[in-house]
Amino acid sequence: MMMYKSIRKRLHSLLIFTMVLSVIGSGGILGHAPTAQAVDVWKPIDTEPMIVTGSALDLSGMNDAPAG
């Protein structure tokens, strides 16, 4: 019975600790949570294909002809 109370006390403490962390993390105590801007996260990339027509990597010859 004593071991059950010890485990229950530890679980209770862990539950309170996680609840406090979730409130702090969601901005409840600190005011607001910082948000990332698209300028900070997204980087432009070149989407043009870099495969030379007629090279070994050019698989356009395997495409079906247009329908119609």
DSSP 34-51: ----HHHH------S--P
Q: Is it the case that residue 64 has pLDDT exceeding 80?
A: yes
Q: Is it the case that residue 61 has pLDDT exceeding 70?
A: yes
Q: Is it the case that residue 54 has pLDDT exceeding 80?
A: yes
Q: Is it the case that residue 1 has pLDDT exceeding 70?
A: no
Q: Is it the case that residue 25 has pLDDT exceeding 60?
A: yes
The confidence score (pLDDT) of residue 12 equals 92
Contacts 24+ apart (CB under 8 A), 29-38: none
